[in-house]
Structure 1
Amino acid sequence: MNINLYNAQLENLYIHKVGNRARNEQLFLSQEPYELNDEIRPLLKEFFLKPFREKDLQFHKFSEESTIQSLFGKRQIFEDEGDFVPPNKIHEAIAYHLYSCGNHPHIKTGELYICKIENILINNEKVFAIGIFKSEVKQEFIQFEQKETRLDAILKEGVNLNKLDKGAIITLEEEPRVLFIDSNRYDTKYWIEDFLGVEEMEDSDFHTKKYLKFCENFAKDVVRPAEDKQQEIMFMNRAVNHFASHDEFQEDSFLNEVLENPELVPEFSNYKAEKGAKYKIEDLTEFPISNTAVTTVQKKLKSLINLDTNIQIKLNFINPESAEKFIEKGWDDERQMYYYLVYFNKEEK
């Protein structure tokens, strides 16, 4: 799934303060939207949306028990001109819901920002969304005040605009899609399960990433012990290249092209029967391939051979056949050691 937030615009921003219910702290609700000006609008846009651009995030969907989903289902969210509907006050309902989820004393008080986001592109299609963000961790800073004869240093606390604590972008579609981030892992259940109530969306992105992750572990657990590290890397290169060169995944075609050792075919089937449920691919034999997901996996793929002589060999091949053409593995009887023989034309600077 390709999401573009470059031209996204924030509108109708409400800022509430959500205390910890378990500690009997208060909930403060703003009755009016915050007036965004040209100075603060780009700062808040970067604060809210930067984490969603920098991380590889998977779209989720609301579970049947999600309170947020029920709020969206029962209320009109925007007037025709794009404003939050005042009588329904969905921004207040969202804040009340988050407050009600604060049943643990460790959950931090924070500012809750709720806004409309325009001009989001998903697969080049423009969509509207609601943004829900929360800042919790405060940092100290010094502000200076000029007096007649000196500068006074005043210690204050504020929000670091370089780190958003929690956030969610919810598309306003018939079937809403949800992206979320949570920088504070100690209370993940509070934000993801209790507040948002989301579960994984099993789309082409999901299937592509899960199947390639399964292949990566098959390579590590089965291919490497049966052959060697070089063959493990080559298998994954062939697997990723297969995904990159096809629009539709067919498991039979994949196995014929990627598993060069026929003895590993039944091993693959056995491994899938044993581990497939963990990756939610146990019954998956065909699906549309997500090019975005393939690119993400390619960037993360490690192609290092670490040797016990403190030497590393990095295989950086677009075409996996290059590994067979330019590197050979053998055994030296005299030294009683394995070796790699590498062919090249010249050393790169």
Structure 2
Amino acid sequence: MITSFEAFLDTLSVHHVGNQAQDEMYSLSDEPLDLKDEMIPRLLMQYFLTPFEKTNEVYHLMHHSDINLNEIFSFVTQIFEDNERFHEVSQHIAKHLYAVTTHPKIKAGELYVGLFNNVQIEGELLDAIGVFKSETKETYLKVYPDKGGFKMDYEENGININKLDKGCLIFNTAKEDGYKVVVIDKTGNSQDAAVYWKDDFLKLKIRNDNFNQTANTLSVYKNFVTQKLDDEFEMSKADKIDLLNRSMKYFKEKETFDLDEFAGEVIGNEQAIESFKNYKQQYEDEFETPIADSFEISTNAVKKQARVYKSVLKLDRNFHIYIHGDKDLIEKGFDDDKAMNYYKVFFKEEQ
């Protein structure tokens, strides 16, 4: 979705943001970073943009009453309208991040604000403002030749350009919706510390497109099968796995999702169908995220959800049984002599 082979870094400002809960301060630079060295911008482009090449979710900046009250929306709008104000506004962005850095487990780190040109999202080349934070520092060994041999040295508190901790790209398009935004957040020592980047700093809402309609439907159905069905039906784990496999098969084979068709082909039982529809409605109401009864299926979302759709029966610590096809070829029973459950598996040939 995000490609950067035509992109280049126009301007970059760097600041340091501490944690006010730890009595740390912030430090603002006086001017943008000097990018005259050819290698540094190349490394920075790899560090900042490469992680976004695998992102699929697109967000928008939001505010419950007025989008102009979203601080980041206001700041990036100022930059898009007047690039000359870039560094000044980057300082305001750093101060805003410091203001929301209140959880004691949030790490201090450098904040980078960059202006990029010709970054592609969904086939469109656009200017984008990137906001990134490096929290994790590493130690690096250096080996170099010396007098017919080699010497070794090290450098502490270095940054691994292959591991971006936190970042976002805000594209100069769809302003009326809160711009298009993609985000990376790979750190967080607790739930409270983990949400501050997306929720407190950026204030994001996810775009309700085909990717998210597909992902949300699969997620809701998985939770329904694994958590809700036990309240109303007696089902074995093998039966649940079969329901999950059938739903994944539906999404892999169909181009469009239709709720009634899905319910009839995958769930089948009228009482369970009604229960699933009610469960889906409760999710939409609770999270204020409507899921259409019909939409085009996103293959990328299906691939992502397939990783968390488990088709394995875990039996004590001795056996795992993977169920990929006909559940009627596996039978569950109870052995009175051993006082233990068992599964009987039927097959034609061993591979």
**Same fold at TM > 0.5:** yes
Give the number of the structure whose residues are more often helix, by fraction. Answer: 2
1:77-88 equivalences under 5 Å are 77=81, 84-86=83-85
Q: Hey, what's the Cα distance between the residues in 2 that align with 1:235 and 1:248?
A: 19
- Answer yes or no: is the 8 Å Cα contact 1:139–1:158 preserved in 2: yes
- Structure 2 residue aligned with 1:345: 349
Cross-structure match for 1:5: 3
CA distance in 1, matches of 2:156, 2:111: 20
Q: Which residue, out of 265, 273, 277, partners 2:273? A: 265
| Greater mean alpha carbon deviation, residues 278-287 or residues 172-181 | 278-287
**CA drift at 1:135:** 1.5
Contact 1:10–1:115 at 8 Å: present in 2 too?
A: no
Structure 2 unmatched ranges of 5 or more: 64-68
Q: Could you tell me which residue of structure 2 aligns to residue 129 of structure 1?
A: 128
CA distance in 2 between counterparts of 1:75 and 1:45 reads 20
The correspondence of residues 195-344 of structure 1 with structure 2, limited to 5 A, is 195-223=201-229, 226-272=234-280, 274-275=282-283, 277-278=285-286, 280=288, 284-308=292-316, 310-316=318-324, 322-324=325-327, 327-331=329-333, 337-344=341-348
**What are the residue-to-residue correspondences of 1:4-83 with 2, within 5 Å?**
4-5=2-3, 7=5, 9-20=7-18, 22=20, 23=23, 25-35=25-35, 37-53=37-53, 58-64=57-63, 65-77=69-81
- 1:131 deviates by 1.4
Q: Percent identity?
A: 25
Preserved CA contact (<8 Å) 1:214 1:276: no
SS at match of 1:199: strand
2:186 alignment partner, one of 162, 183, 188: 183
Q: For 1:138 and 1:283, how far apart are their aligned partners in 2? A: 41
1:83-102 Cα shifts (integer Å, max 9, x gaps): x3358844344334334444
Contact 2:13–2:87, Cα closer than 8 Å, also in 1? no
State which of 189, 194, 211 in structure 1 corresponds to 2:200: 194
The CA distance in 2 between the partners of 1:330 and 1:99, in whole Å, is 58
**Residue 309 of structure 1: CA displacement?**
7.4
Partners of 1:97 and 1:274 in 2: how far apart? 35
Other structure's SS at 1:127 match? strand
Give the Cα–Cα distance (whole angstroms) in 1 for the partners of residues 115 and 183 of structure 2. Answer: 16
Shift of 1:240: 2.3
Cα offset, 1:68, TM superposition: 0.9
- State the TM-score, normalizing by the size of structure 1: 0.78
The letter for the 2-side match of 1:18 is H
| Cα deviation 1:111-153 (Å, max 9, x = unaligned) | 22222334444333433322111123333446689999x9795
For residue 51 of structure 1, give the secondary structure of its aligned residue in structure 2. Answer: helix
| Equivalent-residue separation in structure 2 for 1:87 and 1:39 (angstroms) | 23
Q: 1:247 to 1:195 in 2, by over 3 A?
A: same
Task: Return the letter of the residue paired with 1:113.
Answer: Y
How far did residue 306 of structure 1 move?
1.8
Task: Give aligned pairs, total.
Answer: 332
Are residues 31 and 191 of structure 1, via their aligned partners in 2, closer, same or farther at CA, if it must alter by over 3 Å? same
Q: Equivalent residue of 1:305, what SS?
A: strand
TM-score (normalizing by structure 2): 0.78
Tell whether the 8 Å contact from 2:56 to 2:211 is kept in structure 1 after alignment. Answer: no
**Partner SS, residue 85 of structure 1:** helix
CA contact (8 A) 2:114 2:131 kept: yes
Give secondary structure in 2 for the equivalent of 1:301. Answer: coil
**Residues 85 and 264 from structure 1, CA distance in 2 versus in 1: closer, same or farther, beyond 3 angstroms?**
same
Deviation at 1:62, TM superposition (A): 0.7
Is the contact made by 1:15 and 1:111 (CA closer than 8 Å) also made in structure 2?
no
Q: CA deviation at 1:259?
A: 1.3
Aligned to 1:163: 163
Deviation at 1:57, TM superposition (A): 5.6
Is the Cα contact below 8 Å between 1:211 and 1:279 reproduced in 2?
Answer: no
Q: Secondary structure at the match of 2:157?
A: strand
For residue 46 of structure 2, what is the amino acid of its counterpart? E
Return 44-53 or 169-178, whichever deviates more. 44-53
Residue 178 of structure 1, CA deviation: 1.6
Q: What SS does structure 2 have at the residue aligned with 1:230? A: helix
- Give the distance between the partners of 1:211 and 1:295, measured in 2 at CA: 14
Q: In 2, are the aligned partners of 1:77 and 1:85 still within 8 Å (CA)?
A: no
CA contact (8 A) 1:223 1:231 kept: no
Contact 1:330 1:339 in 2 (8 A): yes
Q: State the distance in 2 between where 1:308 and 1:144 align.
A: 49
Q: 1:232 to 1:48 in 2, by over 3 A?
A: same
Residue aligned with 1:13, SS: strand
8 Å contact from structure 1 (residues 214, 279) kept in 2: no
